[in-house]
Amino acid sequence: MADGHADEQQARDALATVRASVPPSAQPPEEPHPPRVGPPAEVAGGIPAVVSSMKHAWGEMGPVRGTQLLLKVNQQQGFDCPGCAWPDPGHRSVAEFCENGAKAVAEEGTTARVTPDFFRQWSVADLSLQTDHWLGKQGRLTHPMVLREGATHYAPISWDEAFALVAEELNALGSPDDACFYTSGRTSNEAAFLYQLFVRQFGTNNLPDCSNMCHESSGTGLSETIGIGKGTVTLEDFNKADAIFVIGQNPGTNHPRMLSSLQAAARRGCEIVSINPLPETGLNRFKHPQEVLRLIGPGTALNTLFLQVRINGDVALLQGLAKALLELEDARPGTVVARAFIEEKTLGFDAWAAHIRAVRWEDVVEGAGVPREQIVAGAEILARSERTIFCWAMGLTQHRNAVSNIQEIVNLALLRGSVGKPGAGLCPVRGHSNVQGDRTMGIWERPKPEFLDALSREFGFEPPRHHGMDTVDTLRAMHDGRVKVFFALGGNFLSATPDTEFTAEALRRTRLTVHVSTKLNRAHLVHGRRALILPCLGRTERDVQAGGAQFVTVENSMGVVSASRGAVNPASEHLLSEPVIVARLAAAVLGARSKVPWTWLVEDYDRVRDLISRVIPGFQDFNRRVREPGGFYLPNGPREGRFTTKSGKAHFTVHSLPRLELGPGQLLMMTIRTHDQFNTTVYGLDDRYRGIRNGRRVVLLHPGDVKELGLSEGQLVDLTSHFQGETRVARRFRVVPYNIPRRCAATYFPEANVLVPVDSFAEKSRTPASKSVVITVSPSVDTPALTPGAVS
Ligand SMILES: Nc1nc2c(c(=O)[nH]1)N[C@H]1C(S)=C(S)[C@@H](COP(=O)(O)OP(=O)(O)OC[C@H]3O[C@@H](n4cnc5c(=O)[nH]c(N)nc54)[C@H](O)[C@@H]3O)O[C@H]1N2
Ligand SMILES: Nc1nc2c(c(=O)[nH]1)N[C@H]1C(S)=C(S)[C@@H](COP(=O)(O)OP(=O)(O)OC[C@H]3O[C@@H](n4cnc5c(=O)[nH]c(N)nc54)[C@H](O)[C@@H]3O)O[C@H]1N2
Ligand SMILES: [Mo]
């Protein structure tokens, strides 16, 4: 018996030694079981959504805390939902949240805790062998933790020591540009403003953010053509539109509250067109989970027309819509082209129209993968709609030619005069709940000179003028050893970025990685020579400082700035708020070099907001206006019909059709979200609307391609991506035949990020092309590897 124990212990020690010699895994482990696959859901929302909300909320938080928190989501005296950036209606219901908002709240509000004791039990290497789902389920981080050089386990550290450690590393750098400061879009305006101020006083513009991987292409495309990198519509416009186009977006999963707006619009006769390679459930039929009495029954039909575009076929499709509109104008002169608007407010129409007329229908149909009659049907909807809203998300922004995608939408909107009038306009639907606000606060590697001038005037220092690094630059620079300190205010840089193994190596080559986080994630496990985890308060929690209870502010997808107040006690007494972490860090790093009274500022966030009001346009009288119910709108020229480009006009732009030659057996793959995740946070293993349960390592293929490639349903396959002569492999995915266009494939983010080449990104915006990955699929070679992917 005793011998048995000794053997077992010996075996465990041996295993630990083996593991210690292998670096922590950058990728989640393979899945032991195949997923269960059934038919996709026909209706979004309804009773299953209510059940799922309660399951997550009560499961993580218990019925009392769960209900208490859910009743405060998006209420005027409550907190902004930590889920997506969809705006709140003026007249709010008691329960202003959706199924996935409930999951986001439950994820943060959970009663589980990751304590120093937990870190004593688990080595970093062992944690890395767990799934992302498991890591998240361990609960909220409670103490600042350090991983010292050569250590196998994180150990507790005091806040003062932690800040001193960061200061020591930062102040030892040869140049401030040897550090990068990442932000994820949940950070409040107050924290973001202080953060960029600190980073610029430190001396760099190296402020990569999640936006680089998200709506950067929208910002770039819109700034060039209409003069502002944001959308032009308000929520009110959804009540007035005649047609709404939803392009490359899956609102049923990622912006469920948007379905309420679409439902109301559909009920009053607004036509809804969706352009997507997948027939996403939310866009077919929807039952509002809060209209309890209507939950039984067929739900509201939302879609008028579904154009099943092939992946990255949008430039062709949008040009086809424009071409059909010009042909309709020829047939019925004076009824389609918004002549007066175009003459008064735009430039470049003639050249653009000539280009569109010259484009051949064969090329449009081939490029889009949609028959001409269907494109004409879409154009007819546009032609009869006086007020059209164009919505889009990641299906358009994450391609090589993403900026062209956005600018083709602008062309269509301008052609119909559908910008700057009620019920019409451009609507990039943002992801993270404050990603737009972070940019407004100056989180940007390419700040405008006017912004830097304002900082210089207010704070009496000379900010660096040369541009900093974005996300892709940061990855390269860390990999080359040029960037030695990586600091992240939120997010999961390892798993959200492209090329997971490349990124992992980049992080491992740094001297220090620091993460300000609420929950444990894989980015904590793939680290520099030293690493810190700094645990912070979440949105849902009360934030009390010397000046009393504080609130923070956020900006939603439509440019409304509003307050967010936490509702429950913090997960641990050792947590600091993000503004306080940034202020104390700045004080520790900059010392006498900075005249900003950092710690005084965060005793009362009104003091921070006073500074914001003096530096950032549109924030005059910030403290008073943000206390008004519902907050306030930021100025937006194009919304009022005033284009804020240099010329004062909106620009038509000409784009050639993207050429992509797929070789024999090659497919174009998009990486998308399931219904049970928030980016890299995996709430559960089901993608309920698509009928895929209990598994994430799947590849969705057209049944015809499954057959042609000699594969079968449920088969284990390896995926290989091909880019400029390089290959990358992701192992052991299951084949799921699905309603997707030929030669297209879909996998889930972040499992498939290992396949996205670091150098494959959008022109101009430099957003990783994570929806345009060229792959081949082959039966799995049955060699169980420690890590499921590798670069060759
Ligand atoms: N519950 C939940 N909510 C979220 C998030 C989450 O992960 N979970 N993430 C948040 C964030 S940060 C963001 S940015 C948004 C993301 O919101 P979405 O952009 O909706 O997210 P994705 O899952 O990436 O879906 C992209 C959609 O585009 C389609 N698509 C892919 N390629 C193409 C293409 O080439 N052309 C066209 N026309 N369509 C294409 C896909 O089929 C899919 O329907 O959601 C935010 N809200
Ligand atoms: N292949 C592929 N890659 C993609 C995408 C894709 O569609 N396909 N989408 C891209 C997009 S759109 C985005 S936005 C990025 C997302 O990239 P990120 O924003 O970096 O990733 P998230 O998964 O949202 O970050 C989750 C972590 O944030 C921390 N967190 C949560 N709440 C808070 C908080 O209040 N404060 C702080 N400090 N930390 C908090 C938690 O520790 C959690 O583990 O990923 C991109 N990557
Ligand atoms: Mo995003």
Q: Find the 712 Cα to ligand 2 centroid distance in Å.
A: 34
Quote the CA–CA distance of 474 and 544 in Å, as a whole number: 35
The answer, yes or no, to whether any atom of ligand 1 lies below 6 A from the CB of 201, is no
Confirm or reject: Cβ of 756 under 6 Å from ligand 2.
Answer: yes
Atom of ligand 1 nearest to the CA of 309: 38
> What distance in Å separates the CA atoms of residue 9 and residue 220, rounded to the nearest whole number?
58
Give me the pLDDT at residue 326, please. 98
The conformation of residue 696, written as its DSSP 8-state character, comes to: -
Looking at residue 717, what is its pLDDT? 98
pLDDT band for position 84 (cuts 50, 70, 90)? confident
Q: Whose CA is nearest to atom 39 of ligand 2?
A: 490
Give the pLDDT of residue 780.
95
Residue 50, pLDDT score: 82
Q: What's the confidence (pLDDT) of residue 485?
A: 98
CB 309 less than 6 A from any atom of ligand 1: yes
> How confident is the model at residue 789, as a pLDDT?
40
Is ligand 2 within 6 A of the CB of residue 208?
no
Average pLDDT for 150-174: 98
Q: Is 31 near ligand 1, meaning CB less than 6 Å away?
A: no
User: pTM above 0.85?
Assistant: yes
Looking at residue 57, its pLDDT comes to: 87
User: What residue segments make up the domains of the chain, in order of their start?
Assistant: 28-109, 113-212+434-563+573-639, 215-429+662-792
Percent of all residues in the chain with a pLDDT value above 90, rounded to a whole number: 83
Whether pLDDT at 203 is above 70: yes
Q: Three-state SS for 779?
A: strand
Residues by chain with Cβ below 5 Å of ion ligand 3: 214, 431
- Which stretches of 323-380 are assigned E, i.e. beta strand? 346-347
User: Is the N-terminal amide bond of 750 cis, ω within 30° of 0?
Assistant: yes
- The percent of residues above 70 in pLDDT, for the chain, comes to 94
Dihedral of CA atoms 255, 260, 261, 262 in degrees, nearest 10, equals 90
Residue 210 Cα to ligand 3 midpoint, Å, equals 7
The arithmetic mean of pLDDT across residues 620-630, rounded, is 96
Q: Which atom of ligand 2 is nearest to the CA of 753?
A: 1
Of the pLDDT bands very low, low, confident and very high (cuts 50, 70, 90), residue 531 is: very high
**Mean pLDDT of all residues in the chain?**
93
pLDDT band at 91 (very low <50, low <70, confident <90, very high): low
> DSSP for 197-232?
HHHHHHT-----BGGGGTTHHHHHHHHHHHS-SS--
174 vs 205, 402, 508, CA distance in Å? 16, 37, 20
Residue 785 pLDDT level (bands cut at 50, 70, 90):
very low
Query: Are β-strands 744-748 and 667-672 bridged in parallel, bridged antiparallel, or unpaired?
Result: parallel
Topology (CATH) of 113-212+434-563+573-639: Rossmann fold (3.40.50)
CA 143, CA 535: separation in Å to the nearest integer? 6
Give 426-449 pLDDT, tens digit per residue.
999 999 999 999 999 999 999 999
Of the given ranges (26-30, 79-83, 139-143, 240-244), which has the lowest mean pLDDT? 79-83
Is residue 477 over pLDDT 80? yes
Question: What's the CA angle centered on 581, arms 139 and 546, to 5 degrees?
Answer: 105
What number is the average pLDDT over the span 495-520?
Answer: 98
Give the mean model confidence (pLDDT) for residues 713-741: 97
- Residue 311 has φ and ψ, to the nearest 5°, of -55, 130
Q: Which residue has the tokens 């040869």?
A: 174
Q: Residue 676: phi, psi to the nearest 5? A: -120, 40
**Helix or strand or coil: residue 273?**
strand
Confidence check: pLDDT of 300 > 70: yes
Tokens of 246: 């939803």
Q: Is 100 in the pocket of ligand 1 (CB under 6 A)?
A: yes
Q: What are 218-262's pLDDT values in tens digits?
A: 999 999 999 999 999 999 999 999 999 999 999 999 999 999 999
Element spanning 384, H or E: helix 372-384
* Centroid of ligand 1 to alpha carbon of 564 (angstroms): 25
Between the CA of 83 and the centroid of ligand 3 the distance, in Å, is: 11
Q: What mean pLDDT comes out for the span 179-193? A: 97
Q: Where are the alpha helices (DSSP H) in 567-685?
A: 578-590, 598-601, 605-615, 622-625
How far away, in angstroms, is 437 Cα from ligand 3 center?
A: 13
Pick the residue whose CA is nearest to atom 31 on ligand 2: 518
Q: Are 423 and 417 in contact, with CB atoms under 8 Å apart?
A: no
pLDDT for residue 786: 40
Q: How far is the CA of 671 from the centre of ligand 3 (A)?
A: 13
pLDDT surpasses 50 at 454: yes
The reported pLDDT for the residue numbered 287 is 74
Ligand positioned closest to the Cα atom of 754 = 2
Amino acid in position 389: I
Distance from C-alpha of 232 to C-alpha of 558, rounded to nearest angstrom? 7
Going by alpha carbons, the residue nearest to atom 35 of ligand 2 is: 538
53 C-beta closer than 6 A to ligand 1: no
Q: How far apart are CA 276 and CA 282, in angstroms?
A: 12
> What CATH fold (topology level) applies to the domain 215-429+662-792?
Dimethylsulfoxide Reductase; domain 2 (3.40.228)
Q: To 5 degrees, how large is the angle CA 182–CA 183–CA 184?
A: 130
Ligand 1 atom at minimum distance from 393 CA: 19
| For residue 298, pLDDT beyond 70 | no
